[in-house]
Amino acid sequence: MDLQYLVREPQNITPETPVLFLLHGYGSNEEDLFSFVPTLPEDWLVISFRAPKNSSYGGYAWFDIDFNNAENFVDENEANEAVKLVLENIMTVTNRYGLTDNKTHLCGFSQGGMIAYSLALQYPDLFSKVACLSSYPEEKLLKNIVKEKKKLENLRFFISHGTDDAVIPLDWGRKAADLLYDLSAYFSFREYMSGHGVNQKNYLDLMEFFKK
């Protein structure tokens, strides 16, 4: 299945052009994170995917979530299929633009962040900078992660979470710091005085991470 997406193309595209893939959260759409475009590096190709499913609250979803069941928060089969689908579409876009010697970055919010964790830790050789916002590493999507430090050394994670997040508890978000520390991966974990979203300070720090 080819996912629908929005694209911002830089003036020149070469095999070395960096690409950033944006993965929105549950009940949102491809326009949400695409609003980051004006402050992202101008020489990057930016792709914002739309999730394939209609969500019960309007917008789109990568997979079903049971908000009333913390033990079975995600549909495991659907979620792993979504990870596979996103990877296939990343490869399709990469081939379409002839990107053979470039860096590939990920930015996922909430449900999109769960997919970003899964992709980066299962296929670390494919990715570089990875931002996971108001999200958490879901164990059901991390059964085949790479644990060799050498294979993870080129990854750079930016993790952010709101202290008053009522959708994904801060404690869940903090699991990322424990996981990435145990894997000896490079990461920055930041907490902000906000709910389930990205406040101005969070946004500025995220842009600084991408521009470094």
The whole-model pTM stands at: 0.96
Measured distance CA(20)–CA(175) in Å, rounded? 25
Q: Give residue 105's pLDDT.
A: 98
Strand intervals (E) in 75-193: 104-109, 129-133, 156-162, 186-192
Q: Give residue 67's pLDDT.
A: 73
Q: What's the mean pLDDT when you consider all of the chain?
A: 95
Q: pLDDT class for 53, splitting at 50, 70, 90?
A: very high
H helix and E strand count, the chain: 6, 9
Q: What is the pLDDT of residues 139-196, one digit of tens each?
A: 999 999 999 999 999 999 999 999 999 999 999 999 999 999 999 999 999 999 999 9
State how beta strands 53-54 and 60-61 pair. antiparallel
CA–CA–CA angle 140, 103, 84 (5° rounding): 30
Measured distance CA(93)–CA(139) in Å, rounded? 28
Domains, the chain, with CATH or none: 5-211 (3.40.50.1820)
Q: What is the pLDDT of residues 76-101, one digit of tens each?
A: 999 999 999 999 999 999 999 999 99
Measured distance CA(124)–CA(129) in Å, rounded? 10
Say if CB 142 and CB 180 are below 8 A apart. no
- CA dihedral defined by 172, 25, 152, 98, rounded to 10 degrees? 180
